[in-house]
Structure 1
Amino acid sequence: MTNPSDNDKNRNAANGTLGDNPWRAMGLIGSVGGTIGACLGLGYWIGSKIDAGNGGIVGMAAGFVVAVIMTVLLIRTFTGGKAN
């Protein structure tokens, strides 16, 4: 007599969640970190080239906004279009 766990009952093969594949989850974490770092660094660099005064900070803030948008899009892509 087999007693499936609660996880087996709720698992749906077509769901495509990150919990079923640890490598996919690790890829998402690495991609999010890389995206945030690249956007902040690039925003700071571009801002410092445009304006020598406060351009680095303004560029970094703009880079943060872009990083948030890119992270949301990245998570939606990894979850199959469902960010819930």
Structure 2
Amino acid sequence: MASHSSEKVRFKEATIRQLLELNKEKRAIDKTVKFSFDGAKLLAHLARHFVDEAVCRAVAQAESEGQTEVDVDHLRKVLPQLMLDFT
């Protein structure tokens, strides 16, 4: 789906690394397991594309309903198919 915005969402690799570390703590994953720089970079890239696609689909959903503002209901409507498409 084409982007509605010329600006792209960006996630810093450091932010992704922090999320990974928090997730390891939450799930009691072995502390010696680490993500490589390339692994964190790839996750940041995937997160950017996921969020960009979610925004585009939510905008399209709002437009199809004649709305000029995207709300949480538009995101809820597009999320199931988006999750399937990203699996």
TM-score by structure 2 length? 0.43
Q: Structure 1 or 2: larger helix share?
A: 1
- Greater relative contact order (Cα < 8 A, sep 6+): 2
